[in-house]
């Protein structure tokens, strides 16, 4: 093709594009001046004349534009009838190429004459398409075949057309920014040239046939078997492909299908199942399922025949999992999983819009509708898009012109383009055949299977089950092997363990997967919901304000929070709140019956907690404030500081400890891809249920309030996976921590607030490397994390004191600066946390709790430290006598059995006392609740 022809071709495409654009724009203005009854007629005429223009130019130019026309002809669900009716001719009815050209190509490619190759060659083609045409023939051995022959010079034309298409898409994106199809055309530019090599297509055909278990003469009956046929490859070269002949009728030949008595519904469902298998099970799929690429076998049971595997897509394992996760998230309405799937596949949004993202995804996987309902479908989609754009306009504070040019998607991964195209083509296919297909029902088993298949990847079959981080001590090496043994026994789904001894990290291990349907590995920076472990951090914030002189432990709460002093609460002091003796143990417990989502309304809950009346006199009885504790402490923190709860958390602990991005009470948008998903250990739950009830009536747990029941506790777990719950400020129970961030917090507390040396940078990603509040690309981001730490000389110990072998750390920490998060002495702080010494009069005598922390006792009753455990097994505590701090985070929730084994193992290796709640037979008898 000469440059003159290329230029003419380009000008014809651009001219028609501009002409159609102006036509529709003018019609939009004309419509305003036309009576409503005549508007539909105007649009129908416009669609008819523009569809004819498009068809005429496509037939003239052929090449890539035929493929575009074929794609458009299948979108009966969204395009006007005129386009569908006219462009449908392109599916297999282009003008044929000259027979002499066809024979010449065959002979050149195969190196033999036509007579040597075939005993019979039908001169009239079965079909002529954009790249090639197909003839029926007979080999000398009598086998019936079809011969696919590439058009002469088509490669040059296709490559030129791709450039022109790219220019048009760029122009449309400039003129109408909300219609930016650049990700799609970019992917097409990468993939389309592969269709020009028929050797590539031959191998694709063989691969898909193997994956689907296709045999023309029979098939295996596996649970995920799809009942389709694929022709066998006989021979291939770059420009010629010979396949076995399959007798069938075209999918768009309605009359023939009716004569054969084909069940169209069943037919399209089986095609959809075939594509679900290719996408989710195989990760390798045909990217061009337009009607011209299917036949229906004439012989009963009239199976679909899949043709043309020139355009295929190979998905990586991670993208395949992300697509399956996205599908199931849409089916379940799981916003966390959806946003996590987006992040995993590289789809980035410019703003936080989880509800709109879910809506759009549901539209993507919506059930198909017949072509007769296309106008209504287009109208509904348009209205939904307009509604979403209004939400974006309000959220971003954009004017009408700005919102028109705003694209909410920042990055659209190429892998998703072909996937999207396939779903749209399948949707158009079912619409054109007037059948309804429920993607959620048909595709779900295949999406589930790909995620379930990886859930068997325990340590025995997955050498990377334990995250490949540095080993800090011989204790950690032994612990990792212990965790592997537990994993092989199916005791662990995902876990993190981190421990400090004498101010230094001795354990920092992550293992397992993030969720039951999330096979990604747990990493050191993964975020685990830890329930009441959060209380230990919330209590620390109250003590931090006391340390800063903003508050007193024996001060009336009403002094700093005037609204709180109503309904008999004027004598409740800060220490009563911290010690669970305020008499508000059941406060707001019935809120879940009214509306569980009220938990997520921080201001409303603070307002309500300020209005409740106590059940007992302050200080008289210690009853665990399992839920109300968070709002009580949160209200005190905000009123005493004059700042928002999360701002105080960041100022007090997150920045000084350099744990940005790994310690949250209420997660911000943008961290969803690092979240562990909770599931329940049903075996442990079943064993613990009767123990739980027995525990409630025993002296051990007289501290539990009446509303703290087995049913109320177990019902919390499903709610905890919901996005709006994870984002809520619930200081009693909604911490999302990494074990290493939490262990660093307790390591600082055990040393009186002295920040430990910098966490090992060889543990990747480094602790503190995440922005604490991720920003979207549309907003300005200014993150300035300063180094404020320096090695604590007083924290060193002699080698003789170590009962473990420490692996040398060669990192230079000479630039670290002294930092203390508390100014009081270590002894005074520890006494305040545990309610001992000068603070003994502020707690309930003999109770389980100090001032905000649970007192850690040994079996002989000695208090050795403080901490807090949480529902499901996560825990954190420190041993002040041995300068030891440890945290365990889990996502397969139990009532502490697994945690106890890990704590006992580590303490045994270090020759440290075991906390009473995790010790021996006593532990086995009593489930750890909080």
* 414 contact partners, CB below 8 Å, separation of at least 6: 183, 186, 187, 190
3-state SS, one letter per residue, for 587-653? CCCCHHHHCHHHHHCHHHHHHHHCCCCCCCCCCCCCCCCCCHHHHHHHHHHHHHHCCCHHHHHHHHH
Backbone φ, ψ for residue 743 (5° rounding): -65, -35
Hey, what are 879's tokens?
């041993």
DSSP string, 372-428: GGHHHHHHHHHHHHHHHHHHHHHHHT--HHHHHT--SEEE--HHHHHHHHHHHHHHH
- Identify any residues that bridge with 306 across adjacent strands, giving them in sequence order: 294
Distances (CA, A) of 252 to 89, 436, 742: 10, 16, 62
Helices (runs of H) and strands (runs of E) counted in the chain: 33, 25
CA 542 – CA 860 distance, rounded (Å): 30
* 768 contact partners, CB below 8 Å, separation of at least 6: 658, 659, 660, 661, 662, 759, 785
Residue that is written with structure tokens 């946390």 in the block = 833
CA 573 – CA 600 distance, rounded (Å): 26
- Identify any residues that bridge with 889 across adjacent strands, giving them in sequence order: 496
Burial 748-774 (b: 16+ CB within 10 A, else e): bbbbbbbbbbbbbeebeeebbebebbb
Hey, what are 8's tokens?
């003419």
* 715 contact partners, CB below 8 Å, separation of at least 6: 592
Residue that is written with structure tokens 């075996």 in the block = 683
On whether the CB atoms of residues 574 and 549 are closer than 8 A, the answer is no
CA 549 – CA 551 distance, rounded (Å): 6
Could you tell me whether strands 127-128 and 409-411 are parallel, antiparallel, or unpaired per DSSP bridges? Answer: unpaired
CA 74 – CA 596 distance, rounded (Å): 45
Smallest Cα–Cα separation from 63: which of 140, 14, 128, 121? 128
Ranges of beta strands (E only) in 719-846 are 735-737
Hey, what are 250's tokens?
């075209």
Instruction: Report the run of H or E that residue 527 belongs to, with start and end.
Output: none
On whether the CB atoms of residues 679 and 891 are closer than 8 A, the answer is yes
DSSP state, 813? Answer: -
For 781, what's the count of Cα atoms within 13 Å in the CB-facing half-sphere?
13
On whether the CB atoms of residues 511 and 723 are closer than 8 A, the answer is no
Burial 235-260 (b: 16+ CB within 10 A, else e): bbbebbbbbebbebbbbbeeeebeeb
Q: Which residues are catalytic?
A: 288
């Amino acid at each position: 093709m000469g440059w003159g022809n290329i230029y003419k071709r380009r000008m014809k495409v651009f001219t028609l594009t501009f002409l159609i654009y102006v036509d529709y724009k003018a019609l939009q203005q004309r419509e305003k001046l036309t009576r409503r009854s005549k508007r539909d007629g105007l649009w129908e005429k416009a669609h008819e004349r523009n569809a004819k223009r498009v068809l005429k130019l496509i037939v003239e130019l052929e090449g890539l534009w035929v493929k575009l026309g074929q794609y458009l002809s299948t979108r009966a669900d969204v395009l006007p009838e005129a386009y569908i009716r006219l462009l449908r001719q392109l599916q297999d009815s282009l003008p044929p190429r000259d027979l002499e050209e066809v024979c010449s190509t065959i002979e050149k490619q195969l190196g033999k004459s036509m007579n040597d190759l075939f005993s019979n060659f039908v001169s009239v083609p079965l079909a002529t398409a954009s790249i090639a045409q197909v003839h029926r023939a007979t080999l000398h051995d009598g086998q019936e075949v079809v011969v696919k022959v590439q058009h002469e010079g088509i490669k040059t034309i296709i490559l030129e057309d791709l450039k022109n298409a790219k220019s048009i898409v760029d122009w449309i994106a400039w003129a109408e920014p909300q219609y930016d199809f650049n990700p799609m055309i970019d992917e097409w530019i990468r993939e389309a040239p592969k269709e020009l090599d028929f050797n590539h297509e031959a191998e694709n055909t063989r691969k898909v046939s193997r994956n689907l278990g296709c045999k023309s003469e029979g098939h295996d009956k596996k649970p995920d078997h799809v009942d389709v046929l694929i022709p066998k490859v006989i021979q291939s070269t770059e420009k010629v492909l010979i396949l076995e002949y399959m007798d069938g009728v075209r999918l768009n030949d309605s009359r023939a299908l009716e004569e054969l008595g084909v069940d169209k519904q069943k037919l399209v469902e089986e095609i959809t199942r075939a594509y679900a298998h290719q996408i989710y099970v195989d990760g390798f799929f045909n990217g061009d399922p337009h009607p011209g690429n299917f036949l229906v076998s004439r012989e009963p049971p009239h199976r679909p025949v899949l043709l043309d595997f020139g355009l295929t897509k190979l998905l990586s394992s991670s993208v395949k999992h992300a697509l399956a996760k996205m599908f199931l998230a849409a089916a379940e309405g799981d916003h966390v999983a959806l946003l996590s799937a987006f992040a995993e596949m590289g789809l980035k949004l410019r703003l936080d819009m989880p509800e709109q993202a879910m809506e759009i995804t549901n539209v993507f996987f919506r059930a198909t509708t017949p072509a007769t309902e296309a106008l209504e479908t287009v109208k509904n989609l348009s209205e939904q898009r307009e509604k979403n754009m209004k939400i974006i306009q309000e959220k971003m504070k954009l004017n009408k012109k700005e919102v028109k040019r705003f694209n909410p998607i920042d990055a659209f991964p190429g892998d998703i383009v072909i996937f999207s195209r396939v779903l749209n083509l399948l949707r158009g296919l079912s619409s054109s055949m007037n059948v309804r297909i429920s993607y959620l029902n048909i595709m779900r088993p295949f999406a589930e299977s790909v995620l379930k298949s990886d859930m068997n990847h325990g340590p025995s079959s997955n050498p990377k089950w334990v995250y490949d981080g540095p080993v800090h001590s011989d204790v950690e090496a032994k612990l990792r092997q212990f965790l592997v043994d537990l994993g092989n026994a199916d005791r662990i789904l995902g876990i993190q363990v981190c421990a400090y001894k004498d101010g230094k990290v001795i354990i920092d291990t992550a293992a397992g997967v993030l969720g039951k349907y999330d096979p990604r590995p747990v990493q050191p920076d993964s975020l685990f919901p830890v329930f009441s472990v959060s209380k230990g951090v919330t209590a620390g914030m109250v003590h931090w304000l006391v340390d800063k002189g903003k508050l007193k432990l024996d001060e009336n709460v009403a002094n700093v929070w005037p609204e709180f002093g109503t309904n008999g609460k004027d004598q409740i002091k800060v220490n009563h709140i911290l010690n669970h003796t305020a008499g508000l143990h059941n406060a707001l417990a019935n809120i879940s019956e009214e509306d569980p989502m009220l938990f997520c309304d921080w201001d409303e809950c603070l307002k309500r907690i300020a209005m409740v009346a106590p059940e007992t006199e302050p200080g008289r009885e210690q009853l665990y404030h399992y839920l109300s504790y968070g709002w009580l402490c949160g209200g005190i923190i905000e009123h005493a500081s004059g700042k928002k709860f999360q701002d105080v958390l960041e100022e007090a602990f997150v920045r000084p400890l350099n744990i940005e991005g790994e310690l949250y009470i209420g997660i911000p948008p943008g961290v969803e891809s690092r979240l562990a998903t909770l599931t329940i250990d049903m075996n442990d739950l079943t064993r613990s249920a009767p123990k739980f009830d027995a525990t409630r009536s025993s002296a051990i747990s007289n501290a539990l309030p009446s509303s703290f029941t087995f049913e109320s506790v177990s019902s919390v777990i499903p709610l905890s996976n919901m996005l709006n719950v994870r984002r809520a400020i619930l200081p009693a129970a909604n911490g999302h921590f990494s074990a290493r961030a939490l262990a660093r917090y307790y390591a600082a507390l055990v040393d009186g607030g002295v920040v430990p040396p910098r966490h090992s940078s060889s543990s990747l990603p480094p602790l503190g490397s995440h922005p604490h509040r991720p920003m979207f690309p549309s907003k300005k981001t200014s993150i300035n994390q300063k180094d404020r730490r320096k090695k604590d000389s007083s924290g060193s110990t002699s080698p003789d004191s170590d009962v473990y072998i420490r692996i040398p750390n060669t990192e230079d920490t000479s630039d670290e600066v002294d930092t203390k998060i508390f100014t009081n002495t270590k002894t005074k702080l520890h006494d305040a946390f545990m309610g001992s010494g000068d603070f003994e009069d502020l707690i309930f005598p003999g109770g389980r709790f100090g001032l905000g922390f649970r007192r850690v006792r040994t079996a002989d009753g000695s208090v050795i430290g403080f901490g807090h455990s949480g529902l499901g097994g996560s825990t954190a505590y420190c041993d002040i006598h041995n300068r030891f701090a440890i945290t365990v985070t889990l996502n397969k929730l139990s009532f502490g059995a697994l945690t106890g084994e890990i704590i006992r193992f580590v303490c045994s290796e270090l020759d440290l006392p075991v906390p009473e709640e995790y010790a021996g037979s006593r532990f086995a008898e009593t489930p750890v609740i909080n």
